[in-house]
Amino acid sequence: MDDSLSDIICYQLKKMLPLLCTIVLILLMYTPFHFPLSKFLRPDVAMICIYFWTLYRRDLFGLFSVAFLGVVADSLGLVPLGVNIFVFVVIYVMSISYGWFVNTKPFAVSWTGFAVISFAAFVVKWFLMSIYYSCFLSVLGIFSGYIVTVLIYPLIARLNIFVQNKFLASDEVIYEQR
Amino acid sequence: MLMMLSKADTYVLNKTTGMISATLSPIIRIMQFPAQMVYLGYEKARDIIKVYSQNKQLREENIKLMILKNKVRTLEAENRLLGEMLNYISLPEAAYITAKVVAEEGDGFSHSLIVYVGDENRVYKDQVVMSDESVVGRVENVNGKYARVILITDINSKIPIIIERNRERAILSGDNTLIPKLLYTSLSTDIKEGDIVVTSGVAGVFPVGLPIGTVKNISKEKIEIVPMADIERLEFVKIVDYGIYHDVMNFSQENKEK
């Protein structure tokens, strides 16, 4: 009985691992760094994780996880509630729609794919925020955030690959390629 | 739809997001220890390198401050005397608590802090938040033992100010960059680079005369203000209670009822 219960807990935890890893990375990004320009050099790791897990482990990372991450990001930050939820869903939908193109290609292609999708996501976020505040937000700070997010993608992707290979490789679901 | 609801400042939404934020803040607080250690090590090494030049600089500064201290003492006495002659009622003394910065949100979309305030009854919405020397923001909300602070660089921050030199009024508005701008200045305004900007006390949230920053760039389109505080390196902040907030709110409430 105990064994089966621990198995169930273990299985559920495994299923939640991508979500938990993403939450930990989001929280890490809120740590005060105290270095110059730290306000503009914070990557949006949630975008990276959503793109990565949607591409490679959609079975463990559904729309609910994406929406939940949006609520977490909106609650921790000062952006209006709903902005991050919407942006994350946009990334999720785009990753599903265009992910087949990059899924089996070399890492550089997946990175380029992320650069394109995250650019669209940043533009959508900028647009939503500009509407909310009825003025255009400064593009420079947002653009630097985008650049840092794209540049840090390999590092976060490697971390996610490690989690995947170490803990989730045994029950991998291979998606049919279109 | 959620965005529109949050614009309406719905109690339930604020409470829910506040609850999530309060739940996750202690985790961020624990997670920052390794980063804190690295930062402390870096600071220590930097201090050791700079110790001789800093010592010399501090000695010179100390002499200047001693002279200034005597001047301030004389001016204080004179001010008290003149106040007594005019029957002037001065503002109450400020009380403050020092709060540690637990989380920092900063990108092109918003600038805020989460600080640990301990006992929740000591801090309330719209209290002034200062660094050692100047205003850095105001309390947006308090959730349990944590409070969210909107920085003066955030797009939501609008502070009524005056130019210390000529008492010219304006609004200091954040725009999610590190340099907030002045709004609603008159066309014939006499603002010069280097002028000090202080709070005007209009609207009752901030008391009069708290320093914020200095005028940096003046052009036809904008007047930029450089904050006195190093917004990017806030480790501790002072949450100041001047005891006037509730009085001002009660006063305006009574006026509304009348």
Same-domain pairing of B86 and B96: no
A153 lies in a domain?
yes
A77 lies in a domain?
yes
pLDDT of residue B136: 93
What's the rounded Cα separation, in Å, for the pair A83 and A78?
10
What's the rounded Cα separation, in Å, for the pair B255 and B258?
5
Final residue in a domain of this structure, among B90, B117, B148:
B90
Element (H, E) at A81: none
For chain A positions 136-175, those within 8 Å of chain B (CB to CB) are: 137-145
Q: CA angle at residue B66 from B63 to B68, to 5 degrees?
A: 110
Same-domain pairing of B58 and B135: no
Contacts of A126 in chain B (CB under 8 A): 108-109
What is the number of structural domains in chain B? 2
Domain CATH number, residue B229: 2.40.10.340
Same-domain pairing of B86 and B99: no
Judge: B6–A82 Cβ closer than 8 Å, yes or no.
yes
Same-domain pairing of B86 and B98: no
Q: Please name the residue of chain B whose CA is at the shortest distance from the CA of residue A26.
A: B28
A41 lies in a domain?
no
What's the rounded Cα separation, in Å, for the pair B247 and B193?
36
Under 8 Å CB-to-CB from A8, ≥6 apart: which residues?
A: none
Same-domain pairing of B42 and B160: no
Same-domain pairing of B23 and B40: yes
pLDDT of residue A135: 86
Judge: A77–B109 Cβ closer than 8 Å, yes or no.
yes
Helices (H), chain A: 2-29, 45-56, 63-76, 83-102, 107-133, 139-163
- Start-to-end C-alpha separation, chain B: 36
Final residue in a domain of this structure, among B40, B57, B90:
B90
Count other Cβ atoms within 10 Å, centred on residue B77: 10
What's the rounded Cα separation, in Å, for the pair A86 and A46?
13
User: What interhelical angle do A63-76 and B11-86 show, nearest 10?
Assistant: 10
pLDDT of residue B92: 65
pLDDT of residue A177: 41
Complex ipTM value: 0.80
A32 lies in a domain?
no
Domain that holds residue A63: 59-157
Could you read off the pLDDT tens digit of each residue along chain B, which spans 258 residues?
767 666 666 677 777 877 887 788 888 878 777 777 777 888 788 888 888 888 888 898 999 999 999 899 889 888 888 888 888 776 666 778 889 888 887 777 888 888 988 876 778 888 889 988 789 999 988 888 889 999 999 988 999 999 988 888 899 999 888 899 988 887 777 888 889 999 988 777 778 888 999 998 888 788 999 999 888 888 889 998 876 666 666 666 666 666
What is the number of structural domains in chain A? 1
Contacts of A33 in chain B (CB under 8 A): 35, 39, 104
Same-domain pairing of B85 and B96: no
Contacts of A72 in chain B (CB under 8 A): 20, 24
Nearest CA distance, B20 vs chain A (angstrom): 6
Long-range contacts of A137-140 (CB under 8 A, 24+ apart): A137/B108, A137/B109, A137/B155, A137/B175, A137/B176, A138/B108, A138/B175, A138/B176, A138/B177, A139/B108, A140/A40, A140/B108, A140/B177
| Structure token digits, residue B192 | 């010069």
A10 lies in a domain?
no
Final residue in a domain of this structure, among B49, B72, B90:
B90
A144 lies in a domain?
yes
A31, A138, A141 member nearest B32 (Cβ) = A31
Q: Hey, is the C-beta of A8 within 8 angstroms of any chain B C-beta?
A: no
Same-domain pairing of B38 and B76: yes
Nearest CA distance, B157 vs chain A (angstrom): 12
Residue B114, classed as helix, strand or coil, is strand
Residue holding tokens 């729609």? A97
Count other Cβ atoms within 10 Å, centred on residue B190: 10
Which parts of chain A have pLDDT scores under 70? 1-3, 35-39, 171-178
Judge: B103–A31 Cβ closer than 8 Å, yes or no.
yes
Contacts of B21 in chain A (CB under 8 A): 75-76
Judge: B105–A76 Cβ closer than 8 Å, yes or no.
yes
Per the CB < 8 A criterion, the answer to whether B6 and A82 are in contact is: yes
Judge: B233–A79 Cβ closer than 8 Å, yes or no.
no
A2 lies in a domain?
no
What's the rounded Cα separation, in Å, for the pair A70 and A90?
11
Domain that holds residue B8: 1-90
Q: What is the mean pLDDT of chain A?
A: 86
Judge: A78–B148 Cβ closer than 8 Å, yes or no.
yes
A24 lies in a domain?
no
